[in-house]
Structure 1
Amino acid sequence: MNHTVQTFFTPASTNRPPNYEMLKEEHEVAALGAPHNPAPLTSTVIHIRSEASVPDHDVWSLFNTLFMNSCFLGFIVFAYFMKSRDRKMVGDLTRAQAYASTAKCLNIWALILGIILTILLIIIPILILQAYQ
């Protein structure tokens, strides 16, 4: 900012009180400066992505780890969920999205295998009992 020395008071020889409103406007113009470029002003819009754009499937991963842990797939799902959450906390959204996508696929497979194994554990004993009757 330029600091220039300006006289804000009228000389003492004029015997008139200074016009303070006029001096205030002159000070603002001097401080801000006159526009140098007569071109129209343009605006810039910056879009900031929110942190919630990366789902980490936490409840689903915990459910699969506790109840649908066939072939220890639930533990692997939970590990990818934790990696996704860690990357999201650090700010690496690209890697967090990759880990979240892997966790989602593994969650789907763990759920499907868990449901199939649960159905088989119900059907096989029934079939065995019917075979012995």
Structure 2
Amino acid sequence: MVKEEHEVAVLGPPYNAAPMQSTVINIRSSDTSVPDHVVWSLFNTLFLNWCCLGFVAYAYSVKSRDRKMVGDMIGAQSYASTAKCLNICALVIGLLLTIGLIVLLATGTVISIHALSQMMRRNGY
């Protein structure tokens, strides 16, 4: 048995007539990563979508992510910049309209309670 093991070691690796092929994978490391703002856009779409700006920002964020996956960093940066601007607008408009609605409801409630109390005093209750 020792002799057979020795013979296999002496023979060496099997001979293959085909040339050896190798695969090279180039991984580009970019120092500047392009943020796609998908999470922010999704938040604006779900919670602050007064003027549908959140939905449009989400569409641009997805386009930015697609461009980034393809390797088009300039296109990804362009779509990400548009998504960022739309997200800022959606956030500001959404917050202003939400605060305005709360103030309007609070003011309307106070005025209604005041009018009701005056009406009750006039009728003698």
1:85 aligned residue (60, 65, 71): 65
Q: Give yes or no for the alignment of 1:96 onto 2:67.
A: no
Question: What is the DSSP-based 3-state SS (H/G/I as helix, E as strand, rest coil) of the residue aligned with 1:104?
Answer: helix
Please list every run of 5 or more consecutive structure 1 residues that lacks an aligned counterpart in the other structure: 1-47
> Which amino acid in structure 2 is aligned with residue 82 of structure 1?
V
1:112 maps to what in 2?
A: 92
Computing the radius of gyration from Cα coordinates, the structure with the larger value is 1
Please give the TM-score of this superposition, normalised by the length of structure 1.
0.60
Please give the TM-score of this superposition, normalised by the length of structure 2.
0.64
Distance 2:34 2:93 in 1: 26
Cα deviation 1:75-98 (Å, max 9, x = unaligned): 101000011001111111101000
1:76 maps to what in 2?
A: 56
**Alignment RMSD, CA only?**
1.5
Identify the structure with the greater helix proportion. Answer: 2
Question: What is the DSSP-based 3-state SS (H/G/I as helix, E as strand, rest coil) of the residue aligned with 1:70?
Answer: coil
Please list every run of 5 or more consecutive structure 2 residues that lacks an aligned counterpart in the other structure: 1-27, 115-125
Which 4+ residue blocks in structure 1 deviate beyond 4 angstroms?
none
1:113 CA drift (Å) = 0.8
1:33 maps to what in 2?
A: none
1:20 maps to what in 2?
A: none
1:60 aligned residue (36, 40, 43): 40
